[in-house]
């Protein structure tokens, strides 16, 4: 999906604030889920709320005000309790930032529950692209 960078995304370093890429990742996931036919607002009506469990982000180049970014989102792993997304923020084919987001499903009371079977079936799984640097 396309996402323009606004003033409110940036900081006085002249680039997008490092914490705001997690908002871009949310936008990408929301769009991805909608396209699979599992729109998040519908999941919530079925008492299934997405909660992020783990997040990793690599910052390669900063995004800047006025740029129109591409946010690419892929599901790379799905188990009864976990979906792992990879996201890539690009500007004109240059990779700026990438992230791995590990999400679980909780009910209205915040209790962990398994992903509904139809969600598991609907989500296409892509090959993992991010090679994790262990330090």
Q: Does 81 bind a copy of itself (CB under 8 A)?
A: no
Rounded to a whole number of angstroms, the minimum distance from the CB of residue 113 to a copy of itself is 15
The tally of CA atoms less than 13 A away on the side-chain side of residue 40 is 15
**DSSP three-state, residue 117:** helix
* Of residues 9-68, those binding a copy of itself (CB under 8 A): 10-15, 17-20, 22-23, 26-27, 30, 39-41, 49, 51-59, 62, 64-66
The residue among 52 and 78 lying less far from a copy of itself, judged by its C-beta, is 52
The minimum distance between CB 6 and a copy of itself, in angstroms, equals 6
Task: Give the contact letters, 92-111, x = binds to a copy of itself (CB under 8 A), - = no.
Answer: ----------x-------x-
Give the Cα-Cα-Cα angle 73, 76, 78 (nearest 5 degrees): 120
Strand partners for 52: 103
Q: What DSSP string describes 5-65?
A: PPGGGB-TTSSB-GGGHHHHHHHHHHHHHHHHT--HHHHHHTT-EEEEEEEEEEE-S---T
Give the pair of three-digit tokens for residue 116: 């509904």
Residues of this chain that bind a copy of itself (CB under 8 A): 4, 6-8, 10-15, 17-20, 22-23, 26-27, 30, 39-41, 49, 51-59, 62, 64-66, 102, 110, 132-135
């Amino acid at each position: 999906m396309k996402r323009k960078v606004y003033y409110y995304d940036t900081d006085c370093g002249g680039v997008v604030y490092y914490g705001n890429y997690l908002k871009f990742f949310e936008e990408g996931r929301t769009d991805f889920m909608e396209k699979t036919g599992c729109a998040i607002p519908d999941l919530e009506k079925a008492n299934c709320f997405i909660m992020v469990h783990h997040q990793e982000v690599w910052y390669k180049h900063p995004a800047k005000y006025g740029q129109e970014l591409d946010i690419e989102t892929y599901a790379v792993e799905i188990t009864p309790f976990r979906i792992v997304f990879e996201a890539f923020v690009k500007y004109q084919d240059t990779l700026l930032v990438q992230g791995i987001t590990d999400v679980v499903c909780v009910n209205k009371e915040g209790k962990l529950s398994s992903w509904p079977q139809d969600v598991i079936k609907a989500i296409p799984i892509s090959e993992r692209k991010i090679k994790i640097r262990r330090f």
